[in-house]
């Protein structure tokens, strides 16, 4: 590879002078990160006996419970310390009042999530930090993040009951933290008080506090079978045009007791990280969502980008914008790419 250097002679101050070598660029670089600031999502699918690739998501697969443990073991060896688990059950509840009597609130069933958390904690103990995503879109038959009434309107009371029940169930099973991704009003406060009442005051809440209605969740919805059967999520996720609402949403989660805040999707929310940090004083992370990650996979597959270089570039950009931590489908590559803890 030819090395392009400049002949710097006349300028009293030159941008080029400080970019001449890797050592100089490193000397004045302002952001970095280690594998310990990245969180690896894992899809654990009930009843699956092996691994099933997720379209577009590279080496991320839908995993049966046994395969998930093996994947986590390999990821731990590769330096990953934080895992965000999406537990995908084989059966879904009606998510309506009719089912109320037979199972948990709204007929939704968190047994698979609890079993998954317990199995992972039993094997890995405190060598990892285990986060469980808390939402209803993977357990309701209509695929919305809420329990709906007969008129297909959000039944907020039952929804909050169900979210709190899910959080307590996975905390009981040993989760270190819960991560509500539903965007319902008041869920962080409700989950915090439910956890505390159940004796889980130590369990953290990492709220998806600024989460937009986005076109970038496609591969995830395939992986978690969580596409809404009708309508979309614009009734409860934030409109991308709305900056005020986006910041206020995180401020409210902070006030309700969230320990960690988050913007999502990451790259489309860069401008919001610093203002949220300024108004809450809390750590704010960024979720590099499935569609963002898949766009890098797709570019590389066409020979239009170097995948690893593009991935690392996006991580640096998220850190530069102020992200304390990053949830990324590439966390398991960090150490190999030179970002060991
Ligand atoms: C569930 C949930 C979604 C994601 C995380 N939790 C999908 C959605 O809200 O539709 C998206 C994550 C990703 O795309 O990687 N509510």
pLDDT digits (tens, 9 = 90+) for 123-169: 999 999 999 999 998 888 898 999 999 888 999 999 999 999 999 99
Q: Is 325 in the pocket of ligand 1 (CB under 6 A)?
A: no
Tokens of residue 246, six digits: 């986006």
The CB density around residue 139, as the number of other CB atoms within 10 Å, is 27
CA atoms within 13 A on the CB side of 193: 7
Distance 181 CA to ligand 1 centre (A): 7
Is 50 exceeded by the pLDDT of residue 100? Answer: no
Residue 317 lies in a domain: yes
User: For residue 308, what are the CA distances in angstroms to 23, 31, 45, 241?
Assistant: 21, 18, 28, 31
- In angstroms, the CA 214 to CA 306 distance is 26
Tell me if 3 is assigned to some domain: no
- Mutation probe of ligand 1 site: the residue of 135, 209, 262, 329 with most atoms within 8 A of C-beta: 135
3-state secondary structure of 124: helix
For residue 2, tell me if it sits in a domain: no
Instruction: Answer whether 341's CB lies under 8 Å from 35's CB.
Output: yes
* Domain annotation covers residue 115: yes
Residue closest to 243 by CA, chosen among 208, 283, 273: 273
Query: Is 314 near ligand 1, meaning CB less than 6 Å away?
Result: no
pLDDT digit string (tens) for 71-83?
A: 999 999 999 999 9
- For residue 297, being part of any structural domain is answered with yes
Q: Please tell me if the CB atom of residue 109 comes closer than 6 angstroms to any atom of ligand 1.
A: no
Ligand 1: does its nearest atom lie under 6 Å from the Cβ of 292? no
Span 45-76, pLDDT tens digits: 999 998 999 999 999 999 999 999 999 999 99
* Domain count of the fold of the chain: 1
Q: Return the percentage of the chain with pLDDT > 70, whole number.
A: 94
In which element (H, E) is residue 336 found? none
Model confidence at 11: pLDDT above 70: no
Residue nearest to atom 10 of ligand 1 (CA): 217
Residue 338 in any domain: the answer is no
The Cα–Cα gap between 77 and 248 comes to 39
Contact (Cβ atoms closer than 8 angstroms) between residue 263 and residue 206: no
In which domain, by residue range, is 176 found? 10-225+235-333
Q: Does 290 sit in the ligand 1 pocket, CB within 6 Å?
A: yes
Task: Give the β-pairing of 326-327 and 38-45.
Answer: parallel
131 Cβ below 6 A of ligand 1: no
Rounded to two decimals, the pTM is 0.94
Nearest to 285 by CA among 244, 318, 310: 318
Q: In ligand 1, which atom is closest to the CA atom of 288?
A: 15
Query: Going along the chain, which residue ranges are E strands?
Result: 38-45, 51-53, 61-63, 82-88, 129-134, 177-180, 204-205, 210-211, 261-264, 284-287, 326-327
pLDDT at 321 over 50: yes
**Among 293, 302, 299, residue whose Cα is nearest residue 333:** 293
Give the end-to-end CA distance of the chain in Å, rounded to a whole number: 31
Q: Which residues pair with 212 in a beta bridge?
A: 238
CA distance 47 to 268: 35
In the predicted structure, residue 191 carries a pLDDT above the cut 90? yes
* 341 within some domain: no
| Cα distances (angstroms) measured from residue 192 to each of 31, 36, 99, 198 | 33, 26, 26, 10
In a domain, 4, yes or no: no
The stretch 322-329 carries a mean pLDDT of: 98
* Integer CA distances (angstroms), 327 to 59, 109, 143, 289, in order: 16, 26, 23, 8
CA distance 153 to 225: 21
Distance (Å) from CA 219 to ligand 1 centroid:
9
Nearest CA to ligand 1 atom 5: 181
Interval between CA 86 and ligand 1 midpoint (Å): 10
With the most atoms of ligand 1 within 8 angstroms of its CB, the residue from 40, 61, 220, 238 to mutate is: 220
CATH number for 325: 3.20.20.70
For residues 279 and 247, the answer to whether their CB atoms sit within 8 Å is yes
What's the confidence (pLDDT) of residue 91? 78
What DSSP character marks residue 3? P
Ligand 1 neighbour 135 (Cβ under 6 A):
yes
Q: Which helix (H) or strand (E) holds 191?
A: helix 187-197
Query: Where would I find the beta strands (DSSP E) of 46-123?
Result: 51-53, 61-63, 82-88
Taking the CA of residue 183 as reference, the ligand 1 atom at the shortest distance is 16
- Encode pLDDT of 251-277 as tens digits: 999 999 999 999 999 999 999 999 999
| DSSP labels, 209-269 | -EEB--GGGHHHHHHTT---SSS-STTTSBPTT-HHHHHHHHHHHHHTT-SBEEEESSGGG
Q: What mean pLDDT do residues 286-294 have? A: 98
Residues 6+ apart with CB under 8 A from 76: 124, 127, 128
């Amino acid at each position: 590879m030819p090395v392009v250097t400049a002949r710097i002679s006349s300028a009293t101050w030159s941008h080029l002078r400080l970019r001449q070598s890797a050592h100089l660029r490193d000397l004045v670089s302002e952001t970095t990160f280690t594998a310990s600031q990245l969180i690896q999502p894992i899809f654990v699918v009930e009843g699956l006996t092996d691994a099933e690739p997720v379209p577009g998501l590279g080496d991320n697969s839908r995993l049966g419970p046994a395969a998930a443990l093996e994947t986590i073991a390999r990821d731990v060896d590769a330096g990953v310390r934080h895992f965000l688990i999406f537990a995908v059950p084989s059966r879904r509840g009606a998510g309506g009042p009719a089912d109320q009597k037979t199972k948990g609130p709204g007929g939704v069933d968190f047994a698979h999530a609890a079993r998954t958390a317990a199995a992972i904690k039993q094997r890995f103990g405190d060598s990892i930090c285990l986060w469980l995503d808390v939402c209803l879109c993977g357990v309701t038959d209509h695929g919305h993040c809420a329990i709906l009434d007969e008129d297909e309107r959000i039944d907020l009371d039952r929804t909050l009951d169900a979210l709190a029940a899910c959080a307590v169930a996975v905390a009981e099973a040993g989760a270190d933290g819960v991560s509500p991704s539903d965007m319902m009003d008041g869920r962080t406060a409700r989950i915090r008080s439910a956890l505390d009442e159940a004796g889980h005051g130590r369990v953290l809440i990492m709220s998806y506090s600024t989460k937009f209605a986005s076109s970038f969740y496609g591969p995830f919805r395939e992986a978690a079978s969580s596409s809404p059967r009708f309508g979309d999520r614009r009734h409860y996720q934030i409109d991308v045009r709305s900056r005020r609402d986006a910041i206020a949403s995180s401020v409210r989660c902070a006030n309700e007791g969230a320990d960690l805040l988050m913007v999502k999707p990451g790259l489309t929310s860069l401008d919001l990280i610093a203002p949220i940090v300024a108004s809450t004083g809390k750590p704010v992370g960024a979720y590099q969502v499935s569609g963002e990650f898949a766009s890098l996979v797709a570019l590389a597959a066409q020979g239009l980008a170097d995948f690893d270089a593009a991935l690392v570039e996006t991580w640096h950009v998220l850190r530069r914008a102020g992200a304390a931590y990053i949830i990324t489908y590439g966390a398991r590559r960090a150490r190999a790419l030179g970002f060991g803890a």
